Structures are given as C-alpha cells and as structure tokens.
Amino acid sequence: DAGVIQSPRHEVTEMGQEVTLRCKPISGHNSLFWYRQTMMRGLELLIYFNNNVPIDDSGMPEDRFSAKMPNASFSTLKIQPSEPRDSAVYFCASSLEGKGYGYTFGSGTRLTVV
C-alpha cells in the first residue's frame, strides 16, 4: 500500500491567495482527519470525516477554512484567503473506524504564506 498521499509537499503563497491541499487516504480506511502542526500549538485536529461525511469540524479555525471529501479516496482542505498565521505543516491521516485503531499520517504539506 502506498500509504496516505498528500500533495503538494511544499506550498509557498502570497497572503490573500487561495490554497488547496489534497489527500488520498489508505484504501479501505473509512475515517479521515486533517491536522495542523505548529511549534506553538502542536498537533491540532481541524476536521474529521467518517464515511465521507464531516463529523467534527470544531477545530477549523474560521470560515476561511473549508474541507471536502467527495469520495472515499480523496479529500481537500482549502484556505481562502490565506494569511501568514496559516503557515504550518498540514497533515492528513486515515484510519479504520473504531477506538482501537491508530492513525496513519501522510507526509504532510508545509505551507508558507508570505
């Protein structure tokens, strides 16, 4: 299995621009998570999908952030408009449903907003 695949690996954009991050979960996993990691705040859960349905988006910082999962093999996280404080590493993770399963993380997207 190729694991969780994220693209792009690095993104540098100017403030005010739209940014779209992409994720392909592991085939057969029915839960998908978007996390953001910064030195100050650590790993923060942004949104959680189960069977392609958003279950908990309480971690999404504000309306500038949106996430979709149109099918079981693809999800996007969009930031519009982007701001310098959005600079972070964004991880996508997938899992089988259930409390006993750990998550498999993708390689992450390092976002820099200048």
Partner 1 sequence: QKEVEQNSGPLSVPEGAIASLNCTYSDRVSQSFFWYRQYSGKSPELIMSIYSNGDKEDGRFTAQLNKASQYVSLLIRDSQPSDSATYLCAGNDYKLSFGAGTTVTVRA
- Fill in the per-residue mask, 32 to 51: x = in contact with partner 1 (CB under 8 A), - = not in contact: -x--------xx-x--x---
Q: What φ, ψ does residue 26 adopt, rounded to 5°?
A: -65, 135
The C-alpha atoms of residue 44 and residue 26 are separated, in whole angstroms, by: 21
By CB under 8 A, which span of 19-27, 65-73, 77-85, 94-102 interacts with partner 1?
94-102
Looking at the DSSP bridge assignments, the partners of residue 48 are 33, 56
Q: Out of 29, 86, 108, 111, which residue is the one contacting partner 1 (CB under 8 A)?
A: 108
Two tokens, residue 78: 């969009």
C-alpha 76/C-alpha 112 separation (Å) is 18
Q: What residues from 5 to 34 belong to the interface with partner 1 (CB under 8 A)?
A: 33
45 in Cβ contact with 35 (< 8 Å): yes
CA angle in degrees (0–180, nearest 5) for 57-52-113: 50
Site string for partner 1, 55-74 (x = CB under 8 A): xx------------------
Can you tell me which of 34, 79, 88, 91 binds partner 1, judged by CB under 8 A?
A: 91
> Of 17-25, 65-73, 75-83, 99-107, which segment contacts partner 1 by CB under 8 A?
99-107
Q: Which residues bind partner 1 (CB under 8 A)?
A: 33, 42-43, 45, 48, 55-56, 91, 99-100, 102-108
